[in-house]
Protein backbone atom coordinates (compact mmCIF):
# COMPACT_ATOMS: atom_id res chain seq x y z
CA UNK A 1 0.00 0.00 0.00
CA UNK A 2 1.56 3.28 -1.05
CA UNK A 3 2.12 5.86 1.65
CA UNK A 4 0.21 8.62 -0.08
CA UNK A 5 -2.94 6.52 -0.48
CA UNK A 6 -2.59 5.26 3.08
CA UNK A 7 -2.52 8.85 4.32
CA UNK A 8 -5.63 9.63 2.29
CA UNK A 9 -7.50 6.85 4.07
CA UNK A 10 -6.60 8.63 7.30
CA UNK A 11 -7.36 12.18 6.09
CA UNK A 12 -9.07 12.30 2.69
CA UNK A 13 -8.73 15.42 0.57
CA UNK A 14 -9.86 16.47 -2.88
CA UNK A 15 -6.25 16.32 -4.11
CA UNK A 16 -5.44 12.80 -2.92
CA UNK A 17 -4.60 9.92 -5.26
CA UNK A 18 -7.28 7.34 -5.93
CA UNK A 19 -7.83 4.72 -3.25
CA UNK A 20 -9.16 1.52 -4.84
CA UNK A 21 -11.54 -0.32 -2.52
CA UNK A 22 -12.35 -3.96 -3.30
CA UNK A 23 -15.93 -4.55 -2.15
CA UNK A 24 -16.74 -8.13 -1.12
CA UNK A 25 -20.29 -7.41 0.08
CA UNK A 26 -21.98 -10.80 0.57
CA UNK A 27 -19.93 -12.76 -1.95
CA UNK A 28 -18.34 -14.76 0.87
CA UNK A 29 -21.86 -16.24 1.38
CA UNK A 30 -21.32 -16.54 5.11
CA UNK A 31 -18.07 -18.51 4.84
CA UNK A 32 -15.29 -17.17 7.05
CA UNK A 33 -12.70 -19.05 5.01
CA UNK A 34 -13.99 -17.46 1.83
CA UNK A 35 -13.84 -14.02 3.45
CA UNK A 36 -10.16 -14.62 4.27
CA UNK A 37 -9.52 -15.74 0.70
CA UNK A 38 -10.93 -12.46 -0.56
CA UNK A 39 -8.46 -10.51 1.58
CA UNK A 40 -5.47 -12.28 0.04
CA UNK A 41 -6.86 -11.94 -3.48
CA UNK A 42 -7.53 -8.22 -3.13
CA UNK A 43 -4.11 -7.58 -1.59
CA UNK A 44 -2.40 -9.55 -4.37
CA UNK A 45 -4.27 -7.49 -6.96
CA UNK A 46 -2.91 -4.27 -5.44
CA UNK A 47 -6.11 -2.87 -3.90
CA UNK A 48 -5.67 -0.24 -1.21
CA UNK A 49 -8.59 -1.52 0.86
CA UNK A 50 -10.81 -4.55 1.27
CA UNK A 51 -14.40 -3.85 2.28
CA UNK A 52 -17.02 -6.08 3.80
CA UNK A 53 -20.50 -5.42 5.20
CA UNK A 54 -21.17 -6.01 8.88
CA UNK A 55 -24.70 -7.29 9.38
CA UNK A 56 -26.21 -8.03 12.78
CA UNK A 57 -29.55 -9.26 11.57
CA UNK A 58 -31.80 -8.58 14.56
CA UNK A 59 -30.33 -5.08 14.98
CA UNK A 60 -31.02 -3.96 11.41
CA UNK A 61 -33.83 -6.02 9.91
CA UNK A 62 -37.23 -7.56 10.53
CA UNK A 63 -39.23 -10.47 9.10
CA UNK A 64 -41.04 -7.92 6.92
CA UNK A 65 -37.95 -6.96 4.89
CA UNK A 66 -38.57 -7.94 1.25
CA UNK A 67 -36.07 -9.64 -0.98
CA UNK A 68 -34.31 -7.52 -3.60
CA UNK A 69 -33.65 -10.74 -5.50
CA UNK A 70 -34.84 -14.01 -4.00
CA UNK A 71 -31.74 -15.95 -4.99
CA UNK A 72 -31.23 -18.12 -1.90
CA UNK A 73 -33.52 -21.17 -1.50
CA UNK A 74 -31.81 -22.05 1.79
CA UNK A 75 -33.05 -18.81 3.43
CA UNK A 76 -36.79 -18.47 3.89
CA UNK A 77 -36.68 -14.74 4.64
CA UNK A 78 -34.29 -11.87 4.08
CA UNK A 79 -33.78 -11.75 7.85
CA UNK A 80 -32.69 -15.41 7.75
CA UNK A 81 -30.19 -14.50 5.06
CA UNK A 82 -28.69 -11.66 7.12
CA UNK A 83 -28.35 -14.04 10.04
CA UNK A 84 -26.38 -16.43 7.84
CA UNK A 85 -24.11 -13.56 6.78
CA UNK A 86 -23.12 -12.69 10.35
CA UNK A 87 -19.63 -13.13 11.78
CA UNK A 88 -18.82 -12.94 15.46
CA UNK A 89 -16.71 -10.19 16.94
CA UNK A 90 -13.78 -12.60 17.18
CA UNK A 91 -14.16 -13.52 13.52
CA UNK A 92 -14.25 -9.87 12.46
CA UNK A 93 -11.13 -9.31 14.55
CA UNK A 94 -9.43 -12.18 12.70
CA UNK A 95 -10.36 -10.66 9.35
CA UNK A 96 -9.08 -7.25 10.42
CA UNK A 97 -5.81 -8.78 11.63
CA UNK A 98 -5.42 -10.70 8.36
CA UNK A 99 -5.84 -7.46 6.39
CA UNK A 100 -3.24 -5.77 8.58
CA UNK A 101 -0.85 -8.68 8.03
CA UNK A 102 -1.01 -8.38 4.23
CA UNK A 103 -0.91 -4.56 4.32
CA UNK A 104 -4.38 -3.79 2.99
CA UNK A 105 -6.75 -1.38 4.69
CA UNK A 106 -9.76 -3.07 6.32
CA UNK A 107 -13.20 -1.49 5.92
CA UNK A 108 -16.69 -2.74 6.60
CA UNK A 109 -20.00 -0.93 6.22
CA UNK A 110 -22.05 -1.06 9.42
CA UNK A 111 -25.82 -1.42 9.22
CA UNK A 112 -26.58 -0.87 12.91
CA UNK A 113 -25.19 1.06 15.85
CA UNK A 114 -24.13 -2.22 17.42
CA UNK A 115 -22.13 -2.97 14.28
CA UNK A 116 -20.45 0.46 14.51
CA UNK A 117 -19.44 -0.21 18.11
CA UNK A 118 -18.03 -3.63 17.26
CA UNK A 119 -16.07 -2.37 14.25
CA UNK A 120 -14.69 0.54 16.23
CA UNK A 121 -13.66 -1.87 18.96
CA UNK A 122 -11.62 -3.99 16.52
CA UNK A 123 -9.87 -0.92 15.13
CA UNK A 124 -11.71 0.24 12.01
CA UNK A 125 -10.57 3.82 11.30
CA UNK A 126 -12.50 4.76 8.15
CA UNK A 127 -16.25 4.41 7.68
CA UNK A 128 -18.04 3.50 4.48
CA UNK A 129 -21.75 4.31 4.71
CA UNK A 130 -24.03 2.44 2.31
CA UNK A 131 -26.60 4.27 0.22
CA UNK A 132 -29.52 3.00 2.28
CA UNK A 133 -28.11 4.54 5.47
CA UNK A 134 -27.62 8.08 4.13
CA UNK A 135 -30.52 9.50 6.19
CA UNK A 136 -30.14 7.18 9.20
CA UNK A 137 -29.34 9.96 11.67
CA UNK A 138 -28.80 7.73 14.73
CA UNK A 139 -26.27 5.65 12.81
CA UNK A 140 -24.61 8.76 11.35
CA UNK A 141 -24.36 10.34 14.79
CA UNK A 142 -22.65 7.28 16.20
CA UNK A 143 -20.17 7.19 13.30
CA UNK A 144 -19.55 10.95 13.42
CA UNK A 145 -18.72 10.64 17.12
CA UNK A 146 -15.69 8.49 16.24
CA UNK A 147 -14.21 11.56 14.47
CA UNK A 148 -12.94 9.27 11.71
CA UNK A 149 -13.18 9.84 7.93
CA UNK A 150 -16.45 8.94 6.23
CA UNK A 151 -17.04 7.68 2.69
CA UNK A 152 -20.68 8.15 1.72
CA UNK A 153 -22.48 6.36 -1.13
CA UNK A 154 -25.42 8.10 -2.76
CA UNK A 155 -27.15 5.52 -4.95
CA UNK A 156 -30.67 5.88 -3.52
CA UNK A 157 -30.79 9.66 -3.08
CA UNK A 158 -31.18 12.91 -5.01
CA UNK A 159 -29.17 16.08 -4.45
CA UNK A 160 -31.31 17.51 -1.65
CA UNK A 161 -30.91 14.47 0.58
CA UNK A 162 -27.25 14.06 -0.35
CA UNK A 163 -26.55 17.70 0.48
CA UNK A 164 -28.26 17.41 3.84
CA UNK A 165 -26.17 14.43 4.89
CA UNK A 166 -22.94 15.82 3.45
CA UNK A 167 -23.35 19.12 5.27
CA UNK A 168 -24.33 17.30 8.47
CA UNK A 169 -21.12 15.26 8.37
CA UNK A 170 -18.87 18.13 7.30
CA UNK A 171 -20.25 20.41 9.99
CA UNK A 172 -19.16 17.85 12.56
CA UNK A 173 -15.62 17.98 11.20
CA UNK A 174 -15.24 14.45 9.85
CA UNK A 175 -13.27 14.27 6.60
CA UNK A 176 -15.74 13.31 3.85
CA UNK A 177 -15.67 11.59 0.47
CA UNK A 178 -18.82 11.42 -1.67
CA UNK A 179 -19.29 8.58 -4.13
CA UNK A 180 -21.52 8.69 -7.17
CA UNK A 181 -23.40 5.42 -7.11
CA UNK A 182 -26.26 3.92 -9.09
CA UNK A 183 -28.12 1.16 -7.28
CA UNK A 184 -28.56 -1.08 -10.30
CA UNK A 185 -27.03 -4.57 -10.39
CA UNK A 186 -25.35 -4.66 -12.83
CA UNK A 187 -25.40 -0.99 -13.73
CA UNK A 188 -25.70 -0.21 -17.44
CA UNK A 189 -23.37 2.36 -19.04
CA UNK A 190 -26.28 4.72 -19.58
CA UNK A 191 -26.76 4.96 -15.81
CA UNK A 192 -23.18 5.22 -14.47
CA UNK A 193 -23.50 9.01 -14.13
CA UNK A 194 -19.89 10.18 -14.19
CA UNK A 195 -21.11 13.75 -14.63
CA UNK A 196 -22.29 13.68 -11.01
CA UNK A 197 -18.69 13.30 -9.79
CA UNK A 198 -17.77 16.80 -10.92
CA UNK A 199 -21.06 18.15 -9.58
CA UNK A 200 -20.20 16.72 -6.16
CA UNK A 201 -16.73 18.27 -6.33
CA UNK A 202 -18.16 21.70 -7.11
CA UNK A 203 -21.06 21.54 -4.67
CA UNK A 204 -19.29 20.13 -1.63
CA UNK A 205 -15.56 20.85 -2.16
CA UNK A 206 -14.59 17.41 -0.88
CA UNK A 207 -13.00 14.15 -2.03
CA UNK A 208 -15.15 12.41 -4.64
CA UNK A 209 -15.34 9.08 -6.40
CA UNK A 210 -17.39 6.25 -7.84
CA UNK A 211 -18.99 3.18 -6.31
CA UNK A 212 -19.31 0.95 -9.35
CA UNK A 213 -21.73 -1.92 -9.94
CA UNK A 214 -21.19 -2.31 -13.68
CA UNK A 215 -19.33 -5.62 -13.51
CA UNK A 216 -16.66 -4.22 -15.86
CA UNK A 217 -13.38 -2.34 -15.51
CA UNK A 218 -14.50 0.33 -17.98
CA UNK A 219 -16.47 2.56 -15.62
CA UNK A 220 -13.63 2.71 -13.12
CA UNK A 221 -11.10 3.60 -15.79
CA UNK A 222 -13.38 6.32 -17.14
CA UNK A 223 -13.86 7.70 -13.63
CA UNK A 224 -10.10 7.73 -13.05
CA UNK A 225 -9.69 10.20 -15.90
CA UNK A 226 -11.68 12.65 -13.76
CA UNK A 227 -9.11 12.67 -10.95
CA UNK A 228 -11.27 10.81 -8.43
CA UNK A 229 -10.06 10.05 -4.91
CA UNK A 230 -12.04 6.83 -4.33
CA UNK A 231 -13.01 3.93 -6.54
CA UNK A 232 -15.07 1.20 -4.93
CA UNK A 233 -15.81 -1.86 -7.02
CA UNK A 234 -17.41 -5.22 -6.27
CA UNK A 235 -15.13 -8.23 -6.68
CA UNK A 236 -15.61 -11.97 -7.13
CA UNK A 237 -13.04 -14.76 -7.14
CA UNK A 238 -14.83 -16.20 -10.16
CA UNK A 239 -17.89 -15.36 -12.24
CA UNK A 240 -19.16 -18.85 -11.38
CA UNK A 241 -19.51 -17.96 -7.69
CA UNK A 242 -22.91 -18.03 -5.96
CA UNK A 243 -24.76 -14.91 -4.87
CA UNK A 244 -26.53 -11.77 -6.06
CA UNK A 245 -23.42 -9.56 -6.16
CA UNK A 246 -21.40 -11.66 -8.60
CA UNK A 247 -23.18 -10.35 -11.69
CA UNK A 248 -22.19 -6.80 -10.69
CA UNK A 249 -18.59 -7.70 -9.82
CA UNK A 250 -15.26 -7.98 -11.56
CA UNK A 251 -12.86 -10.86 -10.96
CA UNK A 252 -9.71 -10.30 -8.97
CA UNK A 253 -7.65 -10.75 -12.16
CA UNK A 254 -9.69 -7.94 -13.69
CA UNK A 255 -9.15 -5.93 -10.51
CA UNK A 256 -5.40 -6.16 -11.06
CA UNK A 257 -5.83 -4.80 -14.59
CA UNK A 258 -8.15 -2.07 -13.36
CA UNK A 259 -5.67 -0.91 -10.72
CA UNK A 260 -2.83 -0.86 -13.24
CA UNK A 261 -5.03 1.25 -15.50
CA UNK A 262 -5.97 3.66 -12.71
CA UNK A 263 -2.30 4.20 -11.80
CA UNK A 264 -1.43 4.71 -15.48
CA UNK A 265 -4.20 7.28 -15.86
CA UNK A 266 -3.09 9.05 -12.67
CA UNK A 267 0.40 9.40 -14.11
CA UNK A 268 -1.08 10.88 -17.29
CA UNK A 269 -3.20 13.33 -15.30
CA UNK A 270 -0.22 14.41 -13.21
CA UNK A 271 1.93 15.23 -16.23
CA UNK A 272 0.20 17.66 -18.62
CA UNK A 273 1.96 18.25 -21.94
CA UNK A 274 3.03 21.72 -23.05
CA UNK A 275 2.27 21.84 -26.78
CA UNK A 276 3.52 25.42 -27.07
CA UNK A 277 7.04 24.05 -27.63
CA UNK A 278 8.80 20.93 -28.86
CA UNK A 279 11.03 19.12 -26.39
CA UNK A 280 14.55 17.93 -27.16
CA UNK A 281 13.52 14.33 -27.84
CA UNK A 282 10.87 15.44 -30.31
CA UNK A 283 13.38 17.76 -31.99
CA UNK A 284 15.62 14.79 -32.69
CA UNK A 285 12.68 12.77 -34.01
CA UNK A 286 11.63 15.66 -36.25
CA UNK A 287 14.94 15.37 -38.08
CA UNK A 288 14.36 11.63 -38.57
CA UNK A 289 10.69 11.55 -39.55
CA UNK A 290 9.94 14.90 -41.19
CA UNK A 291 10.85 15.63 -44.79
CA UNK A 292 13.09 18.04 -46.66
CA UNK A 293 13.06 19.32 -50.25
CA UNK A 294 15.03 17.15 -52.72
CA UNK A 295 15.63 17.41 -56.44
CA UNK A 296 14.02 14.85 -58.76
CA UNK A 297 16.39 15.60 -61.63
CA UNK A 298 19.61 17.50 -62.26
CA UNK A 299 19.38 21.30 -62.43
CA UNK A 300 21.90 23.42 -64.33
CA UNK A 301 23.41 26.58 -62.85
CA UNK A 302 21.19 29.59 -63.60
CA UNK A 303 18.07 27.52 -64.31
CA UNK A 304 14.78 28.57 -62.76
CA UNK A 305 13.61 25.90 -60.39
CA UNK A 306 10.12 24.53 -61.12
CA UNK A 307 7.79 22.15 -59.27
CA UNK A 308 8.87 19.36 -61.68
CA UNK A 309 12.40 19.63 -60.31
CA UNK A 310 11.35 18.98 -56.71
CA UNK A 311 9.98 16.40 -54.28
CA UNK A 312 10.09 15.81 -50.51
CA UNK A 313 11.99 13.03 -48.74
CA UNK A 314 13.36 12.12 -45.32
CA UNK A 315 15.32 13.18 -43.30
CA UNK A 316 14.06 16.57 -42.21
CA UNK A 317 17.42 18.29 -41.90
CA UNK A 318 17.18 20.53 -44.99
CA UNK A 319 14.59 22.94 -46.31
CA UNK A 320 11.33 21.90 -44.64
CA UNK A 321 8.67 20.43 -46.92
CA UNK A 322 6.34 23.34 -46.21
CA UNK A 323 8.89 25.69 -47.87
CA UNK A 324 8.40 24.09 -51.28
CA UNK A 325 6.43 27.04 -52.68
CA UNK A 326 9.20 29.42 -51.62
CA UNK A 327 11.84 27.42 -53.51
CA UNK A 328 9.86 27.26 -56.77
CA UNK A 329 10.91 30.17 -59.00
CA UNK A 330 14.35 30.57 -57.42
CA UNK A 331 17.49 30.42 -59.64
CA UNK A 332 20.05 27.69 -59.18
CA UNK A 333 23.37 29.14 -58.01
CA UNK A 334 25.32 26.11 -59.26
CA UNK A 335 24.77 22.77 -60.92
CA UNK A 336 22.67 20.55 -58.67
CA UNK A 337 22.61 16.78 -59.13
CA UNK A 338 19.43 14.71 -59.02
CA UNK A 339 18.31 13.37 -55.61
CA UNK A 340 20.06 16.20 -53.77
CA UNK A 341 18.74 17.71 -50.54
CA UNK A 342 18.53 21.42 -51.25
CA UNK A 343 20.23 23.93 -48.98
CA UNK A 344 20.50 27.71 -48.83
CA UNK A 345 23.76 27.79 -50.82
CA UNK A 346 22.07 26.09 -53.79
CA UNK A 347 19.78 29.09 -54.44
CA UNK A 348 20.29 32.68 -55.54
Q: Has residue 99 been placed in a domain?
A: yes
CB of 56 within 8 A of CB of 112? yes
Q: Structural domain of residue 290, as residue ranges?
A: 280-346
**Same domain membership, residue 150 and residue 61:** yes
Digit-by-digit pLDDT tens for the chain (348 residues) are: 343 455 556 656 677 889 999 999 999 999 999 999 999 999 999 999 999 999 999 999 999 999 888 888 888 998 999 999 999 999 999 999 999 999 999 999 999 999 999 999 999 999 999 999 999 999 999 999 999 999 999 999 999 999 999 999 999 999 999 999 999 999 999 999 999 999 999 999 899 999 999 999 999 999 999 999 999 999 999 999 988 899 999 999 999 999 999 999 999 999 999 989 888 888 899 999 999 999 999 999 999 999 999 999 999 999 999 999 999 999 999 999 999 999 999 999
**Same-domain check for residues 60 and 23:** yes
Whether 275 is in a domain gets the answer no
Look at residues 209, 243, 270 and tell me which one is the last residue of a structural domain.
270
Is there a single domain that holds both residue 156 and residue 58? yes
Taking the alpha carbons of 209, 133, 105, 13 in that order, is the dihedral positive or negative? Answer: positive
**Given the DSSP bridges, would you call strands 49-54 and 230-236 parallel, antiparallel or unpaired?**
unpaired
* CATH number, position 340: 3.90.1210.10
In a domain, 297, yes or no: yes
pLDDT digits (tens, 9 = 90+) for 240-286: 998 889 999 999 999 999 999 999 999 999 999 998 988 888 889 99
> CA 70, 72, 73, 74 torsion: positive or negative?
negative
Total number of domains constituting the chain = 2
Answer yes or no: do 228 and 321 share one domain: no
In degrees and rounded to multiples of 5, residue 52 shows phi and psi of: -115, -175
CATH number of residue 206's parent domain: 3.20.20.70
Question: Which one-letter DSSP state was computed for residue 190?
Answer: G
Q: Is residue 39 part of a domain?
A: yes
Q: Are 249 and 328 part of one and the same domain?
A: no
- DSSP code at position 307: G
Amino acid sequence: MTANVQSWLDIPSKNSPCAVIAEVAQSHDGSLGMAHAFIDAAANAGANAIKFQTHIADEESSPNEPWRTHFSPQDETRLDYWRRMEFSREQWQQLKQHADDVDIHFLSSPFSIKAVDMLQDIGVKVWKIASGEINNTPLLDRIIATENPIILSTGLSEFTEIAASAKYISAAGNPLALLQCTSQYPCTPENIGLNVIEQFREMFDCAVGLSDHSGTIFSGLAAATRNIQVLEIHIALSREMFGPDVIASITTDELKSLIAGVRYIETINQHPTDKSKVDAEAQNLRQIFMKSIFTTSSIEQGAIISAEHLTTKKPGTGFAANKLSHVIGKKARRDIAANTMLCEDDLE
